[in-house]
């Protein structure tokens, strides 16, 4: 698991753009989508001569809950507490395309929700799929932060919490090593928040957020390595204008 996570970290940190798109409805329901897209120009610099040797084509779409059914035998052997965590992902839709011919490597995770507190941390989806297949316990995971969401009244919050400071320090040092190794490369590695709201935005906690002309959407971009080294930097509070009373 550690090797998988580190290889994933290398790809994600130095040659990937992650976009988190949220559509919030007036009743508090909505849709969230996280897309990981390999930046081909960046990856070409890293892979060098191996870039032209890629030979893969996969295009799959499935639902997390169907994966649980497929691996029910191992799922049933996991602790009940772990099963409850996995079941929260049941409705998450996963679409993955890996095409060396089209030079398109993309993974998209989508969840429809009834309230913001139902939104899961979509960045953990692949790890949890692997846990179910191989009967890994969540206690063996190396995650060092978690993301959750809340929408109460006219306030929307993206809440990041550090859950393992020692693991965070390890990942911080790994990324510092990657920065040194790829210093001088022109790499795309962004994390972008695109949020759409049912009413006008009154204020945003991060002054770098770009507000749309109609004041109902925002876009906020971070260097991906900064997000991984300091996840708390992606905390966000958005205050919407009060609902009008007729």
Cα Rg of the chain (Å, integer): 19
**Rounded CA separation 3/102 (Å):** 28
In tens, the pLDDT along 40-56 reads 777 777 777 777 777 88
In tens, the pLDDT along 188-237 reads 788 999 999 999 999 999 999 999 999 999 999 999 889 989 999 999 99
**Prediction pTM value:** 0.90
Please tell me the predicted confidence (pLDDT) of residue 142. 77
Please tell me the predicted confidence (pLDDT) of residue 28. 96
The answer as to whether 245 is a domain residue is: no
Helix (H, G, I), strand (E, B) or coil at 130: helix
The answer as to whether 52 is a domain residue is: yes
Report yes or no: 143 and 161 within 8 Å, Cβ to Cβ: no
The answer as to whether 246 is a domain residue is: no
- Sorting pLDDT into bands at 50, 70 and 90, what band is 6? very low
The answer as to whether 48 is a domain residue is: yes
Please tell me the predicted confidence (pLDDT) of residue 12. 53
Strands 145-152 and 155-162: antiparallel
Q: DSSP secondary-structure letter at 244? A: P
3-state helix, strand, coil in the chain (%, to 5): 35, 35, 30
Q: Which two tokens stand for residue 80?
A: 């009940």
**Rounded CA separation 21/234 (Å):** 14
Please tell me the predicted confidence (pLDDT) of residue 101. 87
Helix (H, G, I), strand (E, B) or coil at 144: coil
Please tell me the predicted confidence (pLDDT) of residue 203. 98
Looking at the structure of the chain, the number of domains it has is 1
In tens, the pLDDT along 65-119 reads 999 999 999 999 999 999 999 999 999 999 999 888 888 889 999 999 999 999 9
Which residues have C-beta within 8 Å of that of residue 78, sequence separation ≥ 6? 86, 131, 132, 135, 137
HSE of 185, CA atoms in CB hemisphere, 13 A: 20
Q: Is the pLDDT of residue 1 over 60?
A: no
The answer as to whether 232 is a domain residue is: yes
The answer as to whether 171 is a domain residue is: yes
Q: Is the pLDDT of residue 141 over 80?
A: no
């Amino acid at each position: 698991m550690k090797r998988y996570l580190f290889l994933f970290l290398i790809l994600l940190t130095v040659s990937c753009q992650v976009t988190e798109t949220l559509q919030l409805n007036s009743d508090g329901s909505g849709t969230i989508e996280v897309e990981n897209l390999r930046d081909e120009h960046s990856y070409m610099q890293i892979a060098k001569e191996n870039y032209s040797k890629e030979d893969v084509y996969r295009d799959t779409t499935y639902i997390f809950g169907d994966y649980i059914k497929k691996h029910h035998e191992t799922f049933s052997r996991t602790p009940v507490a772990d099963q409850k965590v996995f079941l929260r992902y049941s409705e998450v839709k996963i679409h993955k395309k890996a095409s060396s011919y089209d030079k398109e490597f993309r993974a998209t995770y989508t969840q429809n929700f009834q309230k913001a507190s139902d939104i899961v941390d979509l960045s953990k989806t692949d790890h949890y799929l692997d846990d179910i297949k191989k009967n890994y316990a969540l206690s063996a995971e190396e995650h060092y932060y978690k993301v959750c969401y809340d929408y109460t009244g006219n306030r929307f919050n993206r809440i990041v919490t550090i859950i393992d400071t020692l693991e965070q320090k390890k990942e911080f040092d790994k990324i510092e090593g990657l920065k040194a190794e790829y210093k001088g490369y022109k790499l795309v590695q962004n994390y972008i928040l695109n949020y759409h709201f049912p009413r006008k935005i009154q204020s945003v906690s991060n002054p770098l957020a770009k507000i749309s002309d109609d004041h109902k959407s925002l876009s906020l971009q971070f260097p991906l390595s900064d997000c991984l080294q300091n996840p708390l930097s992606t905390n966000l509070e958005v205050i919407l204008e009060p609902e009008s009373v007729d």
